[in-house]
């Protein structure tokens, strides 16, 4: 079995479980993004909700990316990491007053607005601060992303965004709000999208919507197509960097930008997933009646994606080169859903072996909980373990 090139002897001395971030993989990913977008009017914002580890954030800031935030806490984390307010966009269906105020106080670039009542509240709070809020309308394009139903967001039945049928009404209201400036339109169709066709569908929809706005005398400065580019969870060693080239090409070729218009992206998973692993130790190998269980010291409290979305993470035994055998790889939490993988082929496994759950850099550490009164996981970077 091919495995990650990790400093296993260093790992031996560290208490498990912990997250490990390979910053070289992250830097190469960021270089690739910057290289592929440098000649286009493209601006990439990192979706902080995927991972806010301070070292990871610093590396992303150093590469010059903007930030996509979905809470006041994330706006604060982006500012604290030194990402300029002029590169921060703020989305979310339920922004609280304090979160909107925080964005206004710091003059963030744009609020991605999801409803009429939200527009009215932002206007009121902006009047209170004597400011003008820049907003983009988050439009629900009714594009199917062919991904897990918990992570598709762009269909009419989802709670997100403004439906196309309501667009004219919303635009008319925006015109009447004194302290709102409409600077763009925003979309986000889902997550872990590996078949790129839905992005092409999105481009077609964006073109139609742009023509509709123009016909009504409205030219917008910004189009934001959100995030959602998927990664290869099966083969992180062969495909550490997602298909950015094909992804950006779709937008370059199929989305018609107007002169001076900027195209914004909000990528989370595609930027950070492959640089991270959850490192755990085998506590026990237990023989069941018909199967073997490898019981780890990490569970869904550290990495909830398998329990929450039946997500697949590649599992590598970093300590063993023994012939492969089949295991149910499980955690120690008192819930039957605390399973990382069933009937999984892994090198012969014993108590004390180090296990890497790969591609865990996105929606891993940030979703950790203290259930069963467990400690939140710590994290190390490749720079720290050099
Ligand atoms: C979650 C989210 C993203 C990032 O999604 P990824 O699948 O991680 O790229 C981007 N934009 C918005 C509005 C989001 O909610």
Q: What is the CATH number of the domain that holds 171?
A: 3.20.20.10
Percent of the chain whose pLDDT exceeds 70: 97
Tokens for 256, please give them.
């018609």
- For residue 229, give the ligand 1 atom closest to its CA: 9
Q: Are residues 42 and 167 in the same domain?
A: yes
Q: Are residues 253 and 145 in the same domain?
A: yes
Q: Domain range spanning residue 133?
A: 24-272
Q: At 144, is the pLDDT very low, low, confident or very high (cuts 50, 70, 90)?
A: confident
Of 187, 228, 227, 193, the C-alpha closest to 205 is 187
Return the residue whose CA atom lies nearest to atom 3 of ligand 1.
227
- For residue 269, give the ligand 1 atom closest to its CA: 8
> Does 179 reside within a domain?
yes
Q: Are residues 256 and 370 in the same domain?
A: no
Residue 361's SS3 state is coil
Q: Is the CB of 365 under 6 A from ligand 1?
A: no
Range 188-209 average pLDDT? 96
> Does 159 reside within a domain?
yes
Q: Are residues 150 and 284 in the same domain?
A: no
Q: Is the CB of 230 under 6 A from ligand 1?
A: no
Quick: pLDDT tens for 149-167.
555 565 566 678 899 889 9
Q: Are residues 186 and 250 in the same domain?
A: yes
- Choosing from 66, 226, 274 the residue with most ligand 1 atoms within 8 A of its CB, the one to mutate for a pocket test is 226
Residue 45 to residue 66: CA distance in whole angstroms: 4
Q: How far apart are the CA of 68 and the centre of ligand 1, in A?
A: 8
Q: At 195, is the pLDDT very low, low, confident or very high (cuts 50, 70, 90)?
A: very high
Q: Are residues 184 and 302 in the same domain?
A: no
CATH number, domain of 364, equals 2.40.37.10
Contact 313, 360 (CB under 8 A): yes
Residue 341 to residue 326: CA distance in whole angstroms: 10
Quick: pLDDT tens for 167-182.
999 999 999 999 999 9
* Number of domains comprising the chain: 2
Parallel, antiparallel, or unpaired: how do β-strands 262-267 and 42-47 relate? parallel
> Does 12 reside within a domain?
no
- Choosing from 88, 91, 114, 191 the residue with most ligand 1 atoms within 8 A of its CB, the one to mutate for a pocket test is 191
Q: What is the pTM of this model?
A: 0.95
Paired residues of 213 in beta bridges: none
- For residue 230, give the ligand 1 atom closest to its CA: 7
């Amino acid at each position: 079995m091919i495995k990650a090139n990790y400093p296993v002897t260093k790992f031996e001395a560290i208490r498990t479980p912990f997250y490990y971030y390979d910053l070289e993989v992250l830097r190469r990913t960021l270089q690739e993004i910057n290289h592929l977008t440098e000649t286009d009017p493209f601006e990439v914002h990192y979706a902080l909700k995927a991972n806010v580890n301070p070292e990871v954030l610093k590396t992303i800031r150093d590469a010059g990316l903007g930030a996509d935030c979905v809470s006041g806490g994330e706006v604060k984390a982006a500012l604290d990491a030194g990402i300029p307010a002029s590169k921060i966009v703020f989305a979310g269906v339920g922004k609280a007053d304090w979160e909107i105020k925080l964005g206004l106080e710091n003059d963030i670039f744009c609020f991605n607005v999801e409803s009429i009542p939200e527009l009215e509240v932002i206007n009121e709070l902006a009047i209170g601060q004597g400011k003008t809020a820049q907003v983009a309308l988050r439009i629900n394009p009714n594009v199917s992303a062919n991904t897990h139903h918990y992570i598709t967001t762009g269909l009419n039945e989802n709670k997100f965004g403004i439906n196309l049928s309501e667009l004219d009404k919303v635009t008319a209201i925006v015109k009447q709000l004194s302290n709102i400036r409409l600077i763009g339109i925003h979309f986000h169709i889902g997550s872990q999208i590996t078949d790129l066709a839905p992005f092409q569908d999105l481009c077609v929809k964006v073109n139609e919507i742009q023509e509709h706005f123009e016909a009504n005398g409205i030219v917008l400065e910004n189009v934001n197509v959100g995030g959602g580019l998927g990664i290869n969870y099966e083969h992180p060693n062969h495909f550490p960097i997602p298909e950015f080239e094909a992804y950006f090409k779709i937008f370059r070729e199929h989305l018609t930008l107007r002169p001076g218009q900027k195209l914004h992206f909000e990528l989370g998973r595609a930027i950070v997933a492959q640089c991270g692993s959850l490192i755990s130790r085998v506590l026990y190998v237990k023989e069941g009646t018909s199967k073997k269980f490898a019981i780890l010291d990490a569970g869904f409290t550290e990495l909830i994606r398998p329990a929450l979305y039946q997500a697949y993470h590649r599992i590598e035994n970093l300590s063993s080169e023994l012939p492969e055998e089949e295991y149910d790889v499980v955690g120690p939490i008192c819930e039957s859903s605390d399973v990382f993988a069933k009937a999984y082929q892994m090198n012969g496994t014993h108590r004390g072996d180090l296990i890497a759950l790969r591609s865990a850099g996105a929606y891993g550490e940030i979703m950790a909980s203290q259930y069963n009164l467990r400690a939140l996981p710590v994290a190390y970077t490749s720079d720290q373990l050099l």
